[in-house]
A and B are shown apart, each in its own frame.
Chain A
């Protein structure tokens, strides 16, 4: 069989088209998650190592402005400019500003990530964002996707929100929070309790232990626990763990569930129909067809037991195994073959399953898992933050900068911000004028103009 190779040039073309041309009208139903699409585009080009070549300074600045335009005045970000009102609508109503269209959790995560490609974390209103994040947490430790003016937390119970909340908290250094900020932090213990209680009877994880386990939710819970530093030590797994099952996250059972997601894929069985919907025929009892007796050339991955295979689950399952340090428990070659031969599209990108046209979401996650598996031509990849390892390092460096407090000094009646680690900090503070008296109805600006 011919050697398979990821066609870097073809995929670069695909992502360049997503970056430079307008997405087709069909994407309108994704308008509210444009920030997500935008992040996928920037990050894919980074993983392909094309990011710097393709974006001019002007384009980077435009993109940065667009992301920041989606920042909500009360903290967090909106999913697209269609959710962001002009500034004058967010008027102060006594107990804070009018919310209009509230900030959205997923949009916030992807906006912050996207910003790190074209700007940096200092442009995020960090304190406001962490305060807002805290208001999204429910009493049971879980998170909603938005909070309304009257304080109602909206959005279903969904492990994705927990993952996003922990990742935002990590990026905005909520994990190294100062005493002063501690009161604004989320309740980590409650969240951990919630994450751990999501494991179901078959070892996978769902939104709660009563629901059906799902690869996406399993990934989200595992990655969240990693961000919070609460994942059980994978090196201390023993055989009997999986037999006695404590009511905490049981890694052997998760691993069993994750490896069970692999399904031998034979193109001739899949003429567009989903697998195993039909009742077994009477001969099935005696048939060995369903046993994996031969080596499969091509292996797909499903997201739930007895469901058809799908490109994105290669990521959710493969990245989960990587985070718990068990990537070696699957044979990557036949899975890679499934992606490259069956779902990779001739115009670049990947489709959801064989025969489907490429879309941004599946194309990104396919690249992501191939990068985790060290595909030549792709940057190495961080499975939990879902960006290149290099980008995670960059974000990590920006995190420490964000922690340096900013102070205000006054000069000629104007206020200026300065970071405490600025070489001119001491001097600026020493020379600072007293803050002007803001009482009365004239603004500092008009006072300055008058004098």
Chain B
């Protein structure tokens, strides 16, 4: 007797067996438990049954194969059909997500259910706030396991957009806290960029991350530059901060040369003396800043230093850039 066969609750259901055939590709040593659960899942799907026992069955299947792409959809439609309170489902999902860090179906499922209750939720600002706070708390728990979990960061953007948290102090603070924890957390830097430069209150709708956006106030550009510069001082060889600086300059329509002095703090090249380089990214930054100003000899020297001494791992690349600089055919 299995979990379903011979069980009075499932007595009326005839499972639909898998038609595997002979000599199949990538055969898996399924357990009897898995084979049985899949047969019953097919049967309830064929009968379009949406009932409490289906919730148990889908939960069981998910525990065996969380990447089953249709069981999640079937579960969502069952929850909606039965009008199950969403918070109960979220609670269950939190556990499943913590156990399945790499699974992405669970996040789509979560968003389907949030989309469903959102119209009701948004009519009550206090309830909406409480809901968003609970989501943030759960994501903080996920970040304790892995602060760079891609799916969780994707969900975080979804929540920010859905509940318009762009101006939320708590949101910006929590990103700062994560960066305080690990200043090299590129996911957190990336989220900050999104939060600041996609805020509908003062940005051009649809402006891409790689474009100048004239609507952004100067003070905002200054604030972000100061934040990233402080981080670069803290860890000069952290590429995340340097990329952020370049991104902010581009958003603000400012030239790299406007930060030549700052980058120069990490790069001292006295004439005739030994140079003192504390960040290859600063040198890279200066090469582009000098090239932008037409100081090609200086730019070439910076690229040469990178390839020959300070970033030898990318020597071929720096040599290629030197070739581009001279307009040489490559």
Contact = CB atoms under 8 A, between A and B. Distances in A.
Interface class of chain B by DSSP: helix
A306 B28 contact: no
B198 to A, nearest CB: 6
Contacts of A142: none
B190 A114 contact: no
Given A28-B31, A212-B150, A292-B280, A201 B316 contact: no
A291 B311 contact: yes
Contacts of B154: 156, 207, 211
Contact of B68 (A32, A63, A278, A288): A32
Interface in B268-316: 277-280, 288, 291-292, 309-316
Interface string A232-256: 0000011110110101001011011
B219 interface: no
B185 interface: yes
B107 interface: yes
B22 A285 contact: no
Given A82-B38, A239-B324, A65 B313 contact: no
Contact of B237 (A260, A290, A328): A290
B108 A41 contact: no
Contact of B67 (A30, A212, A291): A30
Contacts of A32: 65, 67-69
Contact of B312 (A28, A81, A294, A307): A294
Contacts of A285: 233-236, 278
Given A299-B313, A304-B187, A237 B108 contact: no
Nearest to B315: A331
Contacts of A66: 20-21, 23-25
Interface stretch (A19-27, A122-130, A169-177, A413-421): A19-27
A254 B301 CA distance: 23
A292 B330 CA distance: 25
B69 A156 contact: no
Interface residues of A, number: 103
A200 B210 contact: yes
Interface string B1-41: 00000000000000010111111111111110010001000
Contact of B234 (A18, A200, A280): A280
A74 interface: no
A331 B147 CA distance: 31
A148 B309 contact: no
A152 to B, nearest CB: 9
B101 interface: no
B69 A292 contact: no
B18 A82 contact: yes
Nearest to A217: B150
Contact of A201 (B69, B247, B277, B313): B247
Contacts of B57: none
A71 interface: no
Contacts of A63: 23-25
Nearest to B187: A212
B46 A89 contact: yes
Contacts of B193: 200-201, 210
A367 B240 CA distance: 31
Among B24, B30, B194, B211: residue with most chain A CB under 10 A: B24
A264 B191 CA distance: 27
A201 B67 contact: no
A22 B243 contact: no
A37 B67 CA distance: 14
B184 A31 contact: no
B214 to A, nearest CB: 14
A363 interface: no
Contacts of A243: 256, 288, 291-292
Interface string A247-284: 10010110110011011100000000000111110001
B250 A34 contact: no
Given A22-B27, A28-B31, A199-B209, A262 B313 contact: yes
Contacts of A210: 157, 193-194, 198, 209
Contact of B314 (A23, A29, A259): A259
Given A28-B28, A32-B65, A32-B68, A262 B208 contact: no
B108 A329 contact: no
Interface string A64-78: 011101000000000
Contacts of B208: 197, 199, 209, 247
B262 interface: no
Given A156-B154, A280-B234, A296-B313, A247 B210 contact: yes
A11 interface: no
Contacts of A284: 235, 237
Interface string A285-317: 110101111111001000011110000000000
Contact of B65 (A22, A31, A328): A31
Q: Which of A104, A156, A202, A286 has the most CB of B within 10 A?
A: A202
B157 A25 contact: no
B246 interface: yes
B210 A81 contact: no
A62 B69 contact: no
B23, B104, B181, B313: which has the most chain A beta carbons within 10 Å?
B313
B28 A328 contact: no
A214 interface: yes
Nearest to B299: A239
A38 interface: yes
A31 B68 contact: yes
Contacts of A252: 324
A182 interface: no
Given A200-B210, A201-B209, A259-B314, A242 B186 contact: no
Contacts of A262: 313-314
Contact of B317 (A18, A145, A255): A255
B148 interface: yes
A320 B108 CA distance: 28
A100 B46 CA distance: 7
A27 B28 contact: yes
Contacts of A286: 278
B108 to A, nearest CB: 6
Contacts of A239: 291, 321, 324-325, 327
Interchain residue pairs A-B with the least CB separation, the first 10: A62-B23, A201-B247, A38-B25, A212-B190, A290-B237, A202-B243, A209-B209, A37-B26, A305-B186, A292-B313
11 contacts: A29-B66, A30-B28, A34-B28, A41-B25, A42-B25, A156-B104, A199-B210, A209-B209, A211-B153, A239-B291, A239-B324
Given A82-B18, A211-B153, A239-B291, 9 more contacts: A35-B26, A38-B26, A62-B21, A67-B25, A83-B70, A154-B108, A260-B314, A292-B280, A307-B186
